[in-house]
Structure 1
Amino acid sequence: MTELLQSPDKRFAVVQSEPWMAEALEAIQQASFPSLAKNQLITAEHYRAHMQVFPEGQHAVIERETGRVVACSTDLCTQVDFSHFQHRYLEAVGGNWLTTHNPSGDWLYGADIGVHPEYRGLGLSTLLYTARQNLVRRLGLKGHVAGAMPKGYAPFQRDLAIEQYVQKVVRGEMFDPVLSVQLKRGYSVWGIIPDYLDDPSCGNYGVFIVWRNPERLL
């Protein structure tokens, strides 16, 4: 395996996902999204397909000493119409098969990112976001977009509209375990996506986020 990135303590490395990892990737997916509808979870079979469709866009984090796969991300290339950004997750990712991947697309779309609960708080999502942004630069794309899951929203949805919640997170008045991390990685909020997926932890909402490649004039 060729290491694409290392953590500062050299304990972890980002590599391109390989077929032997598929079952471990599925386990990470299930542990990361326990309340996501089962028909929207990515399976080992899906992950193997992703590696065939767009191998460069599939990243895994391994613990170097043990070889254990502990985090992963999935991306595809697409075209983005920012005036019609609302969509559903499964439609964007071809039912989790990445059949929507467009080799001529000029944006990278973040289909998935997950860190095994035993390895959270170690900066692994930062490693994966850095790898994704490096890929954007390497391919000369305009940037990276995703439908972020505001996973801290559920306890507040009776008192706050999703727009109010997101505004408070953006202003730093509230912390969201997903969106706050992405904002720190240089992403900005473009808009809200109702019925993005089926997960009560985020009220089924997605937040369309954008990171623009600073090396490319848009």
Structure 2
Amino acid sequence: MANFGGYVKKLMAFEGDRPVPVTIRRYTESDFEALIDVQREAFPPPFPSELWWNREQLSHHVRLFPEGALCVELDGSGEIVGSMTGLIVGFDPAHPQHTWEEVTDSGYIRNHRPDGDTLYVVDICVKPAYRKLGLGKWLMFSMYEVVVQLGLRRLLGGGRLPGYGKVAGEMTAVQYVEKVLAGELRDPVMTFLLRCGRLPVAVVPGYLEDEESRGYAALMEWRNPFADRLGK
């Protein structure tokens, strides 16, 4: 296996009872086209195609914060089937409202702050054909390890609410989130984040141009259990 440097984790994912060997590692410039293909498959219309990664954005990721640029590939074929990207920001819980464009610099992360206290999730995606392997959860857990390694206070990110559009005429976005938390409704993204250990912080309007979510997102965090010990 090539030496990519930095974070490399080999593990077994499972399709039913069948183990599937995969590797989670930092992505590099040679992966860019494959990463764009993942986005194309993971976010079909009506998701805006202009929000798929471009090479300039990916170049900033690997240059400014390589620790937060992870991908998952199938051992053997080497096919990249998922990725997760983050940056470090300063976060004030008293003022949680923001947009995806503001906090991520529209995905270019030129506002990455190495002195910040929060790893912010820019994006996570897995090709639909491989989602049954639980790779999104493994990517999330891997980014938690980055949070611990860097001594940050939390992982934070806005989760789309793609199920909300179907019931938007019946309830507010806050009521929808409350029903998902109560187990009365299931949301493809929020329920996944809850299963990954993320907890809601706020409901954010106008977060992202997303028809299915009506522009809303659930801001959700995972707190570093060692942060207090580190004095962060």
Global fold match (TM > 0.5): yes
Q: Which moved more, 1:31-40 or 1:130-139?
A: 31-40
Aligned AA (1:180): T
Q: TM-score, normalised to structure 2's length?
A: 0.89
Counterpart Cα distance in 2 of 1:5 and 1:127: 11
Q: Which has the larger radius of gyration?
A: 2
Counterpart Cα distance in 1 of 2:162 and 2:41: 14
The equivalent of 1:49 in structure 2 is: 60
The equivalent of 1:6 in structure 2 is: 11
> CA-to-partner distance for each residue in 1:63-86, whole Å, 9 max, x for gaps?
012000000001000100111111
- Contact between 1:78 and 1:106, CA under 8 Å: does it hold in 2? yes
Counterpart Cα distance in 2 of 1:158 and 1:148: 21
Counterpart Cα distance in 2 of 1:92 and 1:177: 23
The equivalent of 1:16 in structure 2 is: 26
Three-state SS of the structure 1 residue aligned to 2:60 is helix
Q: TM-score, normalised to structure 1's length?
A: 0.95
The equivalent of 2:181 in structure 1 is: 170
Three-state SS of the structure 2 residue aligned to 1:132 is helix
Counterpart Cα distance in 1 of 2:53 and 2:96: 23
Q: How far off its partner does 1:94 sit? A: 1.0
> CA-to-partner distance for each residue in 1:155-175, whole Å, 9 max, x for gaps?
111112111111111111111
Aligned AA (1:12): V
Q: How far off its partner does 1:5 sit? A: 4.3
- Is 2:100 the partner of 1:95? no
- Contact between 1:7 and 1:127, CA under 8 Å: does it hold in 2? no
Aligned partner (choices 189, 195, 215) of residue 184 of structure 1: 195
> CA-to-partner distance for each residue in 1:143-166, whole Å, 9 max, x for gaps?
100011112212111112111111
The equivalent of 2:172 in structure 1 is: 161
The equivalent of 2:42 in structure 1 is: 32
Three-state SS of the structure 2 residue aligned to 1:7 is strand
Aligned AA (2:12): S
- Contact between 2:10 and 2:21, CA under 8 Å: does it hold in 1? no
> CA-to-partner distance for each residue in 1:168-216, whole Å, 9 max, x for gaps?
1111111111110111111111111111011111111111101100112
**For residues 121-140 of structure 1, what are the structure 2 equivalents within 5 Å?**
121-140=132-151
Three-state SS of the structure 1 residue aligned to 2:94 is helix
Aligned AA (1:52): R
- Contact between 1:88 and 1:196, CA under 8 Å: does it hold in 2? yes
Question: Please, which runs of 5 or more residues in structure 1 have no aligned partner?
Answer: none
> CA-to-partner distance for each residue in 1:81-112, whole Å, 9 max, x for gaps?
11111111111111211111101111100010
**For residues 76-115 of structure 1, what are the structure 2 equivalents within 5 Å?**
76-115=87-126
Counterpart Cα distance in 2 of 1:40 and 1:21: 18
The equivalent of 2:156 in structure 1 is: 145
> CA-to-partner distance for each residue in 1:14-40, whole Å, 9 max, x for gaps?
111111111111111122222233333
Question: Please, which runs of 5 or more residues in structure 2 have no aligned partner?
Answer: 14-18
Aligned AA (2:105): G
- Contact between 2:60 and 2:110, CA under 8 Å: does it hold in 1? no
